[in-house]
Amino acid sequence: MKVLVVRLDSFGDVLLAGPAVRAAAHRADRVAVLCGPPGAPAARLLPGVDEVLVWEAPWVGFQPPPVDRAEVDGLVDRLAAAAFDAALVLTSFHQSPLPAALLLRMAGVPRIAADSVDAPGSLLDVRHRRAPHAHEAEAALDLAEAAGFPRPPGDDGRLRVRHAAGAPELTGAGPYVVVHPGASVPARRWSPERSAHAVRLLAGAGHRVVVTGGPGERELTALAAGRDGLDLGGRTEPPQLAAVLAGAGAVVTGNTGPAHLAAAVGTPVVSLFAPVVPAERWGPYGVPHVLLGDQDAPCAASRARVCPVPGHPCLDTVTAEDVLAAVEKLLGADA
């Protein structure tokens, strides 16, 4: 049996699909993941994935491409040639799976399952309704089970990636804490000055601090690291970042992909969580964590990309002292 798992969103979204992918892989002979360009590096880290198909959907993302008939026809042809027996269309709680389901049906996929609050007509064979308030990882697992792919025996359902246990060639020897100051959108980002203060405070308390970030965040990571942290900004592709996070005692980060990557390698997370999306659905999953940030702030559940409240109070009321206390709580619990 060949199964396709569709998750067209970001890096972190694809990581959250990992437990459902493993459930499909337990029953299938071959599993492919269809994802967008931001999610492809995550898909390549997931256990159980045999093939990654990349397509940028015009209904997903911060800057979606225009609808292009030739692109759509090309995708349908690729999917038809692959001859999948079944597909799981995974979406966030606020998204519709029906555009993707339509293309899968056009490609001849005979069995399609998805969560859908909209009437699907003939597009879905399994129309599942997710449990209220379910975490995104749990919702995906529930859908997989409804489609005939239960969790494999002995699988704890947590996030997981293929990764090295550490990256001493990047981090040096000895224990360390990671601070990841960036986020995919400004509303989910702690202020750079507070990140820098937290690095100084952690270092002053005797913690070695490694600062991580993407290629476009080098200025941010340099500011945050200052003279007290090791700046790895722009130096880690996803496999190396996974190894760096796996070697850390704790990771301090916002609601962004590295938070889920830290959970996937089993590292405790201090989550600077802006409530623009609910923490019950998007918080660090399956690992010890401390949630910081005002979850009842006026921006709650707004899905805002830029903070709509002057002063960014949901996160900027969090202090460096709060972060230090949370890190030491997690390190003490781990010990």
* E-state strands within 108-242: 112-115, 126-128, 177-180, 209-211, 229-231
Question: pTM for the whole thing?
Answer: 0.95
Give pLDDT, residue 167: 93
Q: What is the pLDDT of residues 128-166, one digit of tens each?
A: 999 988 999 999 999 999 999 999 999 999 999 999 989
Determine the average pLDDT of the residues in 321-331. 97
10 pLDDT exceeds 90?
yes
65 pLDDT exceeds 90?
yes
Q: How confident is the model at residue 334 (pLDDT cuts 50, 70, 90)?
A: low
Give pLDDT, residue 333: 72
Cβ pair 55, 61 in contact under 8 A: no
C-beta neighbour count of 172 within 10 angstroms: 11
**DSSP letter, residue 265:** T
Higher-pLDDT residue of 312 and 57 is 57
Closest residue by Cα to residue 311 from 220, 191, 198, 214: 191
In the chain the domains, ranked by start, together with CATH numbers, are 2-146 (3.40.50.2000), 168-334 (3.40.50.2000)
Mean pLDDT check: name the lowest of 97-101, 237-241, 256-260, 278-282: 278-282
Residue type, 136: E
DSSP 278-293: -HHHHS--SS-EEEES
Determine the average pLDDT of the residues in 303-332. 89
Helix, coil or strand: residue 128: strand
Distances (CA, A) of 172 to 175, 226, 245, 282: 9, 18, 13, 32
Determine the average pLDDT of the residues in 170-192. 92
Give pLDDT, residue 310: 82
Mean pLDDT for the chain? 94
Cβ pair 105, 123 in contact under 8 A: yes
Higher-pLDDT residue of 274 and 105 is 105
Give pLDDT, residue 122: 97
Residue type, 215: P
Cβ pair 330, 290 in contact under 8 A: yes
58 pLDDT exceeds 70?
yes
Conformational region of residue 172, where left means phi above 0, alpha means psi within -120 to 50, and beta covers everything else: left
